[in-house]
Amino acid sequence: MKNELSHIKELLDEKYFQFNNQSFIETDPISIPHQFSKKEDIEISAFLVATIAWGQRISIINNGNKLMRLMNHEPHDFILNFTKKDALLFETFVHRTFNTTDCVYFLNALKNIYVKYQDLENAFSKNNSENEVNVKQAIVDFRTLFLKTPHQTRSEKHISNPDAKSSAKRLCMFLRWMVRNDKQGVDFGIWKSIKPQQLCLPLDVHTGNVSRKLGLLTRTQNDWQAVEEITTVLKQFDAKDPIKYDFSLFGLGAFEGFK
């Protein structure tokens, strides 16, 4: 078994270096926050595009760019000064089940967070001690904070809840973008209050199926229990940066059709 895991690690390391480079950016939703250099602009654009990151990648990127245009390509300034009049700009915005109502609510919730906490990192980390970050609890606490802004019940489904067994794939992906910094130019590494070893795998159809094919994941559902299971396994391959293998697992499934 140890020898088999060694071979799997070799494969995942190879694919990590193959996919984790700047050529990955252009066709991935992470291309949206890469349009910016200011921390607040990066994290706002990243959070919004991660929120709509399901479905066809080209559609995600197109709608992410549309959001940035509607925000005058200055997301931080736009959020701080967001008004009811500005909300009218989003009357026709829709991405699958994420509609105008949801979008306006998210913008209002972000404004509330930036007024009270200055940035998203502070909001995510407000209950964490530096060495004892529990990403699941951080997501749950952030969700509670986010939902304090008045909203329709329908919008709650767009902010994942690991306590309800959700894999919280999009929020885990957002955290990967913000926290990891391996000098390869894809992830940003602009958050310091969460460490790479504390992250959890963004579990989706691709990463889940490839993990099961490789024998790394036994749970059949893509839920939070599966996230914890596969993340624990990946820590055997790299204890300090286990989620770098998101590139490997996703690339094998999405780009190479590994099933």
Give me the phi and psi of 116, to 5 degrees please.
Answer: -90, -30
Global pTM reads 0.96
Question: How many CA atoms does the CB half-sphere of 127 hold within 13 Å?
Answer: 12
| Each residue's pLDDT expressed in tens, for the chain with a length of 259 residues | 566 889 999 999 999 999 999 999 999 999 999 999 999 999 999 999 999 999 999 999 999 999 999 999 999 999 999 999 999 999 999 999 999 999 999 999 999 999 999 999 999 988 776 667 799 999 999 999 999 999 999 999 999 999 999 999 999 999 999 999 999 999 999 999 999 999 999 999 999 999 999 999 999 999 999 999 999 999 999 999 999 999 999 999 999 988 6
Q: CA quadruple 202, 208, 213, 217: dihedral positive or negative?
A: positive
Helix ranges restricted to H, the chain: 2-19, 39-51, 57-70, 75-80, 84-87, 100-117, 120-125, 135-146, 169-179, 205-213, 224-237, 245-254
